[in-house]
Structure 1
Amino acid sequence: MSRTAATVTDSGGLQCATVPSSPRPASEKELRAVVLAAAASGTGVSLRGYGHSAGGQSFGEGAAMLDLRGLDRVVEFDPQARTIRLQGGASWAALTRAAEPHRLGPTTKQEFETFTIGGSIAANAHGKSVDHGPLIGGVRSLRLMKADGSIVTASRSENADLFAAVAGGYGLFGVIVDATLELVEDRPVRSETPLLLDAPDLIAAYVERLGSRREATPLCYGFLDPACRRGFYVAYVYDGDDREVPLEQLERHEPPPGAFNAFVRIQRRSALARRAALRITWAASRRSETTLRSRRLLLWDEPPAGLAGTLLQKFVVPVARFADLVRRAGQILDRYRGELAVLTPHFRFVPGNDEALLSLAPEDSIAFILSHLARPEDPRWTAAFERATGELLEAALELGGRHYLTFDSVASRSQLLRGYPDWDRFVALKRHHDPDRLFRSNFYERYEGSAA
């Protein structure tokens, strides 16, 4: 059940910690024993699933790091009610295996199946869905193990303060033992042929599409070149409601992982390849595809090896300010083109939702997503990355936006407070529910501050 001390890192390799143990409980009883032992010893506990976060949220220096993937069962599935209850360490793949044969799927999810349900709620994950916002919108209720080993239910009607804090709270209030999620009809979607446009025309067309055909367009996301001068968007429309079409005829198209890995390796070495990547991606996206909505929420079932050395960032601004963000981001990235290398920048609509205390997008917004080819062992790269990130974040803040905390590794506390004005309220609530600070992380240590 327990593994020995180790130094761990998270996605991108900028954050690390030494943890004394990494227990992997396989039952509520084992989980409670680990939590109570950590409380008795004062060790502290951090929570980890597949380790996709990049800001030190899943470990704390000197704290036991719970590997929650041993709690991976589907507890209850009701196709008629369109609900499913899963343990916090279960992956999206477990949900897919249960729900897909019934043509049901989640409201939203990330682009790979290898995320835990608990971790996804803790990050209040945002997917590519246009018709559904962050994951909190699809959570009916959850059961949370607190620092004293007790389990409480949190929902919109019961312990509502905890519900709003746990979703997007990065495991700082307790362990999500299990959660009940809403499911939606998993209808076929069909891709439309994308057009390659100059950035101002592209963004105008994208915003117009969201305004005029949003209900008929469940997926709509786009790509830009590294200078943010040209790009395209991909739109998927509902393609009837024929349940007679076998699932095997609705497979999504995806580049072979081996080819993608080679493509990333070439881009690491060649600025010319990075500049050419947009056209290559556009050409691949022109292939017509009809698949299930839930399948197209994904890129691959699992991340290909080529993504292991990348570091994600996500900045969001209100829809009306996105063109300004793209223009300023292009200028910033152009200044750093000799020091930083990025894969094709990505953008997507983020439906507004203010239920979570630390909401990423309280109003309808568009996210600008960067995937850096990281070199964390190179101090010159790290310094350039931190400077560029600071400039990008300032641009987003000045335009009324903010950054996604899951990928945060360098923001100052003042920048965090500008983007998340409820942070001190979040900290005060954390101190109320966990006065001994059992649940901790490097992320929280960096930003806790002195909230009353």
Structure 2
Amino acid sequence: MDDLYQGNTIQDVGRLLPTKIERIEKGKEVEQIVNILKNAKRDGLKVSIAGKRHSQGGHTYYPDGVVLDMTSFNRILGIDKKRKTIHVQSGATWDDIQKALAPEGLAVKVMQSQNIFTVGGAISVNVHGRDIKNESLGHSINWFHLLLPNGKIEKVDRKSNPELFKDVLGGYGLFGVILDVELQVTDDEVYKIRTKKVSVDEFPSYVHSLRENPNVKMAYARISVAPKTLMDSMFVVEYHTTKQPLTGNFRKLKDDQQPFLTYSLLNLSRKTSFGKDLLWYLQERYFLSLDKSLISRNNAMRSESDFLLYKNQKDTDTLQEFFIPIDEYPSYVKDIQAFLKKDDINLLNFTIRYVSKDDSSMLSYAKTDMIALVALFNHGKQKHDVEKSQKSIQKMIDITLKHNGTFYLPYYPYATKKQLLESYPNFDEFVKEKEKYDPNEYMTSLFFERYRK
């Protein structure tokens, strides 16, 4: 069926938790999906929900269970240009959505920085992105239909059912199957890219001023993980509004540019310090060269995604994400820098974004306005390699918690239960909510089993 499902053994893209399951079933029609749950219940089997399986910690499967693969349940059901909304099935990817919106002169408000993920998966982890004005994804969801574990279908929105809305948003597929969703979208626009270098110490004041600038719609930053400039060198990329008309050229969606070159340089940086220094040098030069160029909103959201599909028999790339209150950033970076100089964890990249305070999810990761640091690591697949990396990442989580920060849950579960509870004090309440809606635990995952106890 795919390279992540062979001989009844399933994996996610991290390829660290191979697990034998009973079967995988493709969701295609609502009645058929209802029957998949009904038949699993009849057979005494647990159900997990999967999209593209980029959640890396066993969120999408469970031993000897049924995996409901939603990627075929992906139709665009309607666009309302007047209301600026799009109605889609949950297996649609952001690429599908952008291809439907672009001809209408519309664009997504919030999505991940890559467009390969399903909207149902994005809701389940409550994503955020480069947009600095529209907060997390939850704020652009009008409503969704949810197939509950008891077999009933309910229309959920934040006004009529605020409790269930908060549970499902960032609920990791544990409260039911998201069937379809209406998203509030916005106008596609032409932006001017502005890039510059910013120091670590001035970054908090830079972020505060950025948020207050009405002309800046999106922004992100990168900080060096290269040995020569480790956590010292930063550049920022901003997207400013213009009066440039959205002509056909701007409206056309771009594909990945030079993915082979990016892949080759990243591969070199996985193996050598020289590769890390070279990649940072070329990356910085390239992004700074984009200053004053023009790009549409849709295309500004279409980053390269090939690096997320890394496959190797001996090692793997894993993601982690840390959230830090804005004013803690300089001291946090100094502590992380000191840690990285002593530790030999293979850190490949740090991308930085702004995240507004968010209470739309029971498991909110942004308890105040925060800076998000998305880390890409590489490590071996053998047990001792994973355990070694786990210890290193747990130390990074401890540093994050010391600075009143939090960490994100869609990735490999390196964190201890104590760390999770410190980061997500509502987790026990989340478990109780889960028991309320699914008392027989028909829907579960390896991730939930690890942390619920």
Which band: TM-score by shorter chain?
over 0.9
Q: CA deviation at 1:384?
A: 2.5
Alignment of 1:362-377 (within 5 A): 362-377=367-382
Q: SS in structure 2 opposite 1:235?
A: strand
Q: CA deviation at 1:301?
A: 6.2
Q: Which residue in 2 is equivalent to 1:210?
A: 210
Q: Distance in 2 between matches of 1:17 and 1:248?
A: 45
Contact kept in structure 1, 2:146 and 2:179, CA below 8 Å: yes
Contact kept in structure 1, 2:94 and 2:117, CA below 8 Å: yes
Contact kept in structure 2, 1:8 and 1:16, CA below 8 Å: yes
Task: Return closer, same or farther for 1:429/1:372 CA change in 2, 3 Å cut-off.
Answer: same
Q: Which residue in 2 is equivalent to 1:23?
A: 25
Q: CA deviation at 1:166?
A: 0.3
Select which of 323, 345, 348 maps to 1:343.
Answer: 348
Q: Which residue in 2 is equivalent to 1:112?
A: 114
Structure 1 stretches lacking a partner, 5+ long: none
Q: Is the counterpart of residue 314 in structure 1 residue 313 in structure 2?
A: no
Q: Distance in 2 between matches of 1:255 and 1:4?
A: 32
Q: CA deviation at 1:251?
A: 6.0
Residue-pair matches, total: 442
Task: Return closer, same or farther for 1:5/1:31 CA change in 2, 3 Å cut-off.
Answer: farther
Q: SS in structure 2 opposite 1:234?
A: strand
Q: Which residue in 2 is equivalent to 1:411?
A: 415
Q: Is the counterpart of residue 325 in structure 1 residue 332 in structure 2?
A: yes
Q: Which residue in 1 is equivalent to 2:266?
A: 264
Q: Which residue in 2 is equivalent to 1:133?
A: 135
Q: CA deviation at 1:400?
A: 1.4
Q: Which residue in 2 is equivalent to 1:225?
A: 224
Q: Which residue in 2 is equivalent to 1:387?
A: 391
Residues 243-279 of structure 1 deviation map (CA, whole Å, 9 limit, x = unaligned): 3x22457666964111111111211221121133222
Greater CA deviation, 277-286 or 29-38? 277-286
Q: Is the counterpart of residue 424 in structure 1 residue 428 in structure 2?
A: yes
Task: Return closer, same or farther for 1:37/1:21 CA change in 2, 3 Å cut-off.
Answer: same
- Please give the TM-score of this superposition, normalised by the length of structure 1: 0.92
Alignment of 1:243-254 (within 5 A): 243=246, 245-248=247-250
Q: SS in structure 2 opposite 1:266?
A: helix
Q: SS in structure 1 opposite 2:160?
A: coil
Q: Is the counterpart of residue 299 in structure 1 residue 303 in structure 2?
A: yes
Q: CA deviation at 1:129?
A: 1.2
Residue identity matched to 2:302: L
Q: CA deviation at 1:57?
A: 0.8
Q: Distance in 1 between matches of 2:187 and 2:205?
A: 28
Alignment of 1:86-165 (within 5 A): 86-165=88-167
Contact kept in structure 2, 1:7 and 1:18, CA below 8 Å: yes
Q: CA deviation at 1:212?
A: 4.2
Alignment of 1:172-211 (within 5 A): 172-195=174-197, 197-201=198-202, 203-204=203-204, 206-211=206-211
Task: Return closer, same or farther for 1:250/1:279 CA change in 2, 3 Å cut-off.
Answer: farther
Q: Is the counterpart of residue 448 in structure 1 residue 452 in structure 2?
A: yes
Q: Is the counterpart of residue 334 in structure 1 residue 341 in structure 2?
A: yes
Q: CA deviation at 1:381?
A: 2.8
Q: Which residue in 2 is equivalent to 1:355?
A: 360
Task: Return closer, same or farther for 1:142/1:382 CA change in 2, 3 Å cut-off.
Answer: same
Q: Distance in 1 between matches of 2:211 and 2:176?
A: 40
Q: CA RMSD in A?
A: 2.2
Q: Which residue in 2 is equivalent to 1:433?
A: 437
Q: CA deviation at 1:15?
A: 2.5
Task: Return closer, same or farther for 1:438/1:249 CA change in 2, 3 Å cut-off.
Answer: closer
Q: Distance in 2 between matches of 1:95 and 1:207?
A: 30
Residue identity matched to 2:301: L
Q: CA deviation at 1:241?
A: 5.2
Q: SS in structure 2 opposite 1:90?
A: coil
Residues 407-443 of structure 1 deviation map (CA, whole Å, 9 limit, x = unaligned): 2411111111111111111111110100110110000
Q: Distance in 1 between matches of 2:302 and 2:278?
A: 24
Task: Return closer, same or farther for 1:302/1:163 CA change in 2, 3 Å cut-off.
Answer: farther
Q: Which residue in 2 is equivalent to 1:240?
A: 243
Q: Distance in 1 between matches of 2:438 and 2:166?
A: 16
Aligned-residue identity in percent: 24
Q: Distance in 2 between matches of 1:293 and 1:250?
A: 11
Contact kept in structure 2, 1:312 and 1:407, CA below 8 Å: yes
Residue identity matched to 2:206: Y
Q: Distance in 1 between matches of 2:6 and 2:381?
A: 26
Residues 383-408 of structure 1 deviation map (CA, whole Å, 9 limit, x = unaligned): 33111111111111121111000124
Task: Return closer, same or farther for 1:98/1:211 CA change in 2, 3 Å cut-off.
Answer: closer
Q: Which residue in 2 is equivalent to 1:170?
A: 172
Q: SS in structure 2 opposite 1:14?
A: coil
Q: Distance in 1 between matches of 2:151 and 2:90?
A: 16
Q: CA deviation at 1:16?
A: 2.9
Q: Distance in 2 between matches of 1:46 and 1:269?
A: 36
